[in-house]
Amino acid sequence: MPYINDVDCDHCRYKSDISYCDDCVHSYEDFDDHFEKMSEEELKERKELQLQKFKESLVGEKVEINLSDEFKRAFNLAHNFTSRKEHNPEYWGVYCDKYFLMATDGDTLANIKVTVPESLVGKNLIKYDHEEIFLAKTQNPVFKNGEAERILREAWAGADATVNVPINKSLADIINKYDDPVVNDLVQIKDGPIVKKTFLDYALEAIEENEDFTISYQTKDKFKPILIQSRIIECLIMPVRVDF
């Protein structure tokens, strides 16, 4: 029998209740109509509860050791680059190496230099309730066997343009707002790749006001990643595909 998709089952109060869904007309023909639309408030509450349960499923043992302010800052900077999407649970964590932290959401990849407590080396961390830090249950395969470091090296090797940003230089000379009818929050790097401004801002948070940094990218292929480097951060950002 054909499926019937004339309602949004995500808005039904009986969603995922097998006793109702399996015998509902919106699953197969000739059954009773069990669809009962939830209010927007009820729907919001259910989504928040589902997200809460999902987050709880990612959390392992709480990190009980004392962490330095330098490490906490580095962790928060790295955490900006983790995912917030439920279908990417392995991208919610921050990976700890001996001398750096790494995080990715699939569109960005950040390496934050910091000395890591020995007990955390090789672990993945996740920020949870009340800003506390826990071990993550899910491991990100990108951080195994030096794969992430290889990706950063390739981005650096492939770049044919590097913009040096001296201390106190106005970014307006280098980064311009890019207007697109579909995608908001875009900027263009000096006639080069177009990226989300949010990602760029996350990278700039790791750069001190009195610090030089560089932006490297490919001029021949504007869909290749840009690489931002400063004293404590290496950050790869994938461009947004728009019509030039």
- Using a CB cutoff of 8 Å and minimum separation of 24, what contacts does 77-81 make? 77/110, 77/112, 77/202, 77/205, 77/206, 77/232, 77/233, 78/102, 78/103, 78/110, 78/112, 79/103, 79/127, 80/110, 80/202, 80/205, 81/105, 81/108, 81/109, 81/110, 81/199, 81/202, 81/235
Which pLDDT tens digit goes with each residue over 137-194? 988 888 988 889 999 998 888 888 888 887 666 677 788 888 888 888 899 988 789 9
Over 70: is that where the pLDDT of 6 sits? no
Whole-number average pLDDT of the chain: 85
Q: With bands split at pLDDT 50, 70 and 90, how would you rate the model's confidence at 9? A: confident
Strand-pair partners of 187:
177, 195
In this structure, are residues 167 and 224 in contact, taking their beta carbons and an 8 Å threshold?
A: no
Which pLDDT tens digit goes with each residue over 188-211? 988 789 999 999 999 999 998 888
pTM: 0.78
Strand-pair partners of 165:
213
Over 60: is that where the pLDDT of 3 sits? no
Which pLDDT tens digit goes with each residue over 29-88? 556 666 778 888 988 898 888 888 888 899 899 999 999 999 999 999 999 999 888 888
